[in-house]
Amino acid sequence: MREVDRRSKFDRRVFLQGAASAVPVVAVATSTGVGIGEAWADDATALTPATLKTLVKVARDIYPHDFLADSYYITAVKPWDGKAAKDPAIKEMINGGISRLDQDARDRHKVPYAEVAWEADRVVLLQGIEQSDFFQKVRGDLIATLYNQKEVWPKFGYEGSSAEHGGYINRGFADIDWLPKV
């Protein structure tokens, strides 16, 4: 029979040495403003990274789902950069809408829109522009770009298309178990 040594191979001294070497790296990374989570916006061609980051915040405020990670909103917003590169009118509309949001936020909260701390305050700012072409266009396009991501479907309980499985009649049409039986 083989004996297994269950004692830990690490001791407090090794742990403290590793932790001591990690602290300076974290301090340098945070002081220089390096953010891995924000690197996605740096490859923008037509819109500024700040505009794209604000668009992600707008998307999250228009369609708030706490269980969705920012990556889904980033995927939904990224096509706007390509649209703005192809059409100067779209670029002007996006830049104008974000500028107006930022100005309204500065007037009320003394910070740009993306830095307004409370969601309720940002929603009030969005309500102020909800009749604008910018808001209507972004809201309408987000329906397709956010909810048409196949990775999002399971998070909402949607199983996907049923056509290739014989349609909903053969795939869950009468599976409702939360209604009382008549």
pLDDT of residue 158: 84
pLDDT of residue 143: 95
Tokens of 47: 């819109």
10-residue averages of pLDDT along the chain (182 residues): 55 62 52 56 88 96 95 95 95 96 96 95 96 96 95 88 78 74 74
pLDDT of residue 74: 95
Which residues contact residue 145 at a Cβ distance below 8 angstroms, ignoring those fewer than 6 apart? 75, 76, 77, 79
pLDDT of residue 88: 95
pLDDT of residue 133: 95
Residue burial 80-115, b: 16+ Cβ < 10 Å; e: rest:
bbebbeeeeebbebbbebbebbbebbeeebeebbbe
Considering the entire predicted model, what is its pTM? 0.72
pLDDT of residue 179: 76
C-beta separation of 145 from 63 below 8 A: no
